[in-house]
Amino acid sequence: MIVMASHMQEQEVGDGTNFVLVFAGALLELAEELLRLGLSVSEVIEGYEIACKKAHEILPDLVCCSAKNLRDVDEVSSLLHTSVMSKQYGNEVFLAKLIAQACVLHGMVFKKETEGDVTSVKDAKIAVYSCPFDGMITETKGTVLIKSAEELMNFSKGEENLMDAQVKAIADTGANVVVTGGRVADMALHYANKYNIMLNPPVLEEMGHCDSVYLSEVGDTQVVVFKHEKEDGAISTIVLRGSTDNLMDDIERAVDDGVNTFKVLTRDKRLVPGGGATEIELAKQITSYGETCPGLEQYAIKKFAEAFEAIPRALAENSGVKANEVISKLYAVHQEGNKNVGLDIEAEVPAVKDMLEAGVLDTYLGKYWAIKLATNAAVTVLRVDQIIMAKPAGGPKPPSGKKDWDDDQND
């Protein structure tokens, strides 16, 4: 259930999957303590649901800033630092700028060479086929009886004329780039070169358009680039290069998180402080709210608030500092009204700093959905009363005795 919640977070937001796993695990761990104290499952579930609803009410008050101009490269790159930092710490400034502008090519890049002599086309009109670029052949094998050399010449010449007419029909429509999903026959390639058609007849309405198509080289790899000169193209390609496959995998995940963060910002521009600041503030306010609740649900509400401490605790342990000292400092600072203060992961001793000034920010939607999905996963697990194991049908198998036990051993 928790893994499913993590997948849903990936589909909905594209980032914050680790938050879902850590927070849901903390909720279940603390729920066990409540059950051992004597609370019923229904009381724990009710408390968690009340606390989750309260967290969503508090979250809008924790918004520290909003994205102003998503077309500004410098602003966007600064907003992507946090999501990239979680995968590539130390390279977040370079990669965030890369995602925002540097290697974003408006168009598509295919890791393949062109077939013909034409390697560059401007103002390309593109015809795309899913079939081979070849002449027509019969479905069954046939036999042709040729009695003279003249008949042989006429047979091959007729084939050439047919292919010439087909390629010329494509060229007459204005298409100068052909993309095919099948093989390209040598004869078709010859006539494509004759009519200056780039290979990688439609009607005019079916043809695509591209500002330029050309053969390029990235490192030592030949690629075909379909490029749009306009900056507001619907398709873009991010080109990544690295020394090892492991490094490339990490950078790819970092870029994926950065791109998904930008997509979330287009839906909701609000941002909340990172570094554990939002979690500690939620824990503080939900704990205070739990003390005002009269029923037994207050214990579950307080444990829900305590589960938020798992995030700054994990950050502190990964930074090599004592988690309890960091959490105590965070609570002390937040009691003074400093909502944006979080963990300083670069300090060698337990320290805190303002996350808004440091530029460590999380998306509002990412935090909203992570809390909701993690709570739903934990509550669903708690609702399970009994697990029934699936077993094969039928009774126990008969014991396997010795073969031929009644045979005469003396024979």
pLDDT confidence band for 92 (50 / 70 / 90): low
Cβ burial, residue 390 (10 Å; 0-12/13-18/19+):
exposed
pLDDT at 137: 63
Distance CA(348)–CA(342), nearest Å, equals 15
* Rounded mean pLDDT, 220-235: 71
Burial 134-171 (b: 16+ CB within 10 A, else e): beeeeeeeeeeeeeeeeeeeeeeeeeeeebbebbeebb
pLDDT at 376: 92
pLDDT confidence band for 346 (50 / 70 / 90): confident
Res 201 pLDDT > 70: no
SS3 178: strand
Cβ atoms of 304 and 48 within 8 Å: the answer is: yes
pLDDT confidence band for 56 (50 / 70 / 90): very high
pLDDT at 234: 64
Taking only the tens place, the pLDDT of each residue in 39-50 is 888 899 999 999
pLDDT at 220: 72
pLDDT confidence band for 26 (50 / 70 / 90): very high
Res 388 pLDDT > 70: no
* Rounded mean pLDDT, 2-26: 86
Tell me the sheet residues that pair with 122: 212
| Selection from 18-27, 81-90, 204-213, 359-368 with the highest mean pLDDT | 18-27
Taking only the tens place, the pLDDT of each residue in 60-77 is 888 888 877 776 767 777
pLDDT confidence band for 102 (50 / 70 / 90): very low
pTM of the model: 0.67
Which of 57-61, 83-87, 178-182, 288-292 has the lowest average pLDDT? 83-87
Res 7 pLDDT > 80: yes
pLDDT confidence band for 147 (50 / 70 / 90): confident
Res 114 pLDDT > 60: yes
Which of 211-225, 304-318, 366-380 has the lowest average pLDDT? 211-225
**Token pair 């077939």 is at which residue?**
115
In 3D, which of 303, 335, 328 has the Cα closest to residue 343?
328
More confident position, 120 or 82: 120
* Rounded mean pLDDT, 101-129: 69
Res 103 pLDDT > 50: no
pLDDT at 227: 76
pLDDT at 257: 76
